[in-house]
Amino acid sequence: MCGIAGIVRLDGAGVSADAIGVLTDLIAHRGPDDAGVHVDGHVGLGHRRLSIVDLSPAGHQPMASGDGSLWIVFNGEIYNHEALRTELVGLGHAFRSTTDTEVILAAYRQWGEACVHRFEGMWAFAIWEPARQRLFCSRDRLGIKPFYYALTPAGFAFASEIKSVLASGLVPVRPNPEALRLQLVYRARASNETTCFDGVLQLPPAHNAVLADGRLVRSRYWSAEDALAARGATGRDHAAGFRDHIEQAVRSHLRSDVPVGACLSGGLDSGTLAALAARQMDAPLRTFSVTYPGTVHDESRYIDALRGHVGNLDGTDTSPDGRDLIDVLERSTWHYEEPVWGGSVYSWWQVMKSVNAGGIKVVLNGQGADELLAGYPRYYPTYLRQLLLQGRLPTLSRNFEGFRAQQGDLSRMGLWRELATPFWPDWLRKAARVAGRGNAFDDRFLSPQLRAMSSPAAEALARRAFSNLDTHLLTDLTTTRLPELLQAEDRFSMAFSIESRVPFLDRAFVEYGIALPASQKIDDGVTKVVLREAMRGVVPDETLDRRDKQGYPTPANDWLRQYGVEYAGDLIGSQRFRERDVFDAGAAATAFDRWRSGQGALPGLWTWLSTENWFRQYVDTPVQDWARPLARTG
């Protein structure tokens, strides 16, 4: 796991080692073990290394092929690199290291761009071919590892983080109002390409890109949708097949030359990974948890139950008191590089801080299971609409009542209203919001300028009324929900120089999970049906039978009142906040005053504060001063 960066000038100008060093210094947290730069006239490649596989100097990057015809910078892990190395040796390739980086180079020489089809893992890399003056770039299938870039007539810059692309000087540092509006209202993007910075794009997941002759040509090499064609081929014993696939995924993700730990909440996903990993390890698995004793957000009961049931776990708990809430808000915004959505970020940050303090470099984490297996309650209305349209009335009735019961006997009228709400016209949606019946897609606090903006295609996606569970899950997996979570997973782990691995996003497991029938994901008010069945006996019943979905629970909203009122008031009342033309400053100030006096909740407050911090850290601060906030991340 590392940080990569590079510049290819297209205007004939040269690239200096110092210029590349600026880019890699900004992401030094991604790789504190080593740093390297390679410059070849108008091309420069940079790397920061977090040593995980082959800890020797042979893993130094940028790395050249044996004959010097290729140069690579690589971030990620290829879990099947040993098998590929054996195959490549049989084809006549020689190796100087045991790194997966060198395997990528040899695979590219052997199979060209098609080599990515053979990789199992997570990656973002760029390979420079001096003789052909050609840069080949690739990003893994689900976008676990980031790849940002900017392309202008003057040149092409790429990096693991946005800040390094901006520091190249090829594009000015300015916000993308349309993307910012979508983030603030819908927590969505127009696509997997845009960012909140104008001119900075992402290479979408499952895509390659070739820069040659001043043109960037992208191509898609894998599609999650194709896995649906395998439906019916998953076998009849879904639980057994599921367990085989997830056990294999965990086994591959434990391969490392340094110890591997796990983040452990009280939920089913992290508990499954910890339990399966502990079974495959000789020494106890180090686990790291954040707990909040005495609050409704405390997960200690479920964490303790798992440890007692599984054994072979060496647990570390941390119980922060919220006094550093504002510091975490500021630092998480700096690392996330876009406005952060809510207080759950606090727990995410604290668990990674604990992992770092525990001396662990690699952890397993449970991202992806919810989007594959319909783990959120919001998927149930979609499934109910699907059953209704299919005319499966007995199944609809059973699931309707089962979901009501699981949601605390939600009223029938309320559930029918929820099923119909996404189809409401704008005027009815706004009327319901005014009447206090919903705050989804709330743009009341945006400035008139942002409210007047329109991005029909993106908004249609964000507000889409799903009536097919497969479509809903695939959209969340590839476009709306998971990309946002993976961005946070990458940034908050790498802020503490930690490699976070996500076995639920193993390629074979993802394809198997996509192909499972809907009834194996949702049934009779229960989510993740097949996971619960497959883990019976492995994970304690107390965890398997949970129905509340909390994610990373945190008392952040309470702590904002306790520790952040003056800070929030200063930001919202500041001249800069008023003059951004992002929020309606008057409406925001009125709502904040009501919240401060104890009159109701203000769920968007964390996002407002993060947005203002984002502007101050990136837009208001000259690039040459960006090292100052970076220095506070230790």
Residues 53 and 115 reside in one and the same domain = yes
Residues 474 and 491 reside in one and the same domain = no
> Is residue 278 scored above 80 in pLDDT?
yes
- 167, 191, 222 - which closes a domain: 222
Evaluate whether residue 551 is within a structural domain: no
Handedness of CA 56, 57, 62, 64 (dihedral sign): negative
Evaluate whether residue 553 is within a structural domain: no
Residue 436 pLDDT? 38
Residues 595 and 606 reside in one and the same domain = yes
Nearest to 403 by CA among 372, 442, 374, 360: 374
Evaluate whether residue 558 is within a structural domain: no
CATH number of the CATH domain containing 237: 3.40.50.620
Residue 310 pLDDT? 94
> Is residue 47 scored above 60 in pLDDT?
yes
Assign 188 a pLDDT band (cuts: 50, 70, 90): low
Domain extent at residue 451: 379-478
What value, to the nearest 5°, has the Cα angle with vertex 74 and ends 332 and 20? 75
- Residue 166 contacts by C-beta under 8 Å, 6 or more apart in sequence? 150, 173, 197, 200, 618, 623
Residue 192 pLDDT? 80
Evaluate whether residue 554 is within a structural domain: no
Residues 528 and 497 reside in one and the same domain = yes
- Mean pLDDT calculated for residue range 79-89: 98
CA distances (Å), 218 to each of 135, 193, 202, 487, in order?
A: 12, 12, 11, 21
Residues 27 and 121 reside in one and the same domain = yes
Which tens digit of pLDDT belongs to each residue from 209-232? 999 999 999 999 999 999 888 776
Which tens digit of pLDDT belongs to each residue from 543-571? 999 877 666 778 988 899 999 999 999 99
Cis status of the peptide bond prior to 425, with omega within 30 of 0: no
> Is residue 329 scored above 80 in pLDDT?
yes
- 187, 202, 222 - which closes a domain: 222
C-beta neighbour count of 39 within 10 angstroms: 18
Assign 427 a pLDDT band (cuts: 50, 70, 90): low
> Is residue 600 scored above 70 in pLDDT?
yes
> Is residue 347 scored above 50 in pLDDT?
yes
Evaluate whether residue 339 is within a structural domain: yes
Question: CB–CB of 540/305 below 8 Å?
Answer: yes
Evaluate whether residue 127 is within a structural domain: yes
> Is residue 95 scored above 50 in pLDDT?
yes
CA distance 85 to 273: 28
Which tens digit of pLDDT belongs to each residue from 437-450? 344 457 889 999 99
SS3 of residue 464 by DSSP = coil
Residue 124 pLDDT? 98
The total domain count for the chain is: 4
CA distance 145 to 502: 11
Please report, rounded to a whole number, the percentage of residues in the chain having pLDDT higher than 70: 92
CATH number of the CATH domain containing 128: 3.60.20.10
Residue 549 pLDDT? 65
Residues 78 and 48 reside in one and the same domain = yes
Compute the chain's Rg from CA coordinates. 24
Residues 308 and 403 reside in one and the same domain = no
> Is residue 634 scored above 50 in pLDDT?
no
Evaluate whether residue 622 is within a structural domain: yes
Residue 627 pLDDT? 67
Residues 92 and 141 reside in one and the same domain = yes
- 182, 203, 222 - which closes a domain: 222
Assign 465 a pLDDT band (cuts: 50, 70, 90): low
Residues 456 and 487 reside in one and the same domain = no
Burial of 542 (0-12, 13-18, 19+ CB in 10 A): middle
Residues 188 and 117 reside in one and the same domain = yes
Evaluate whether residue 556 is within a structural domain: no
Residues 198 and 256 reside in one and the same domain = no
Question: In degrees to the nearest 10, what's the CA dihedral of 605, 610, 616, 622?
Answer: -170
Residues 251 and 311 reside in one and the same domain = yes
> Is residue 418 scored above 80 in pLDDT?
no
- Mean pLDDT calculated for residue range 473-480: 91
Q: Are strands 313-318 and 285-290 parallel, antiparallel or unpaired?
A: parallel
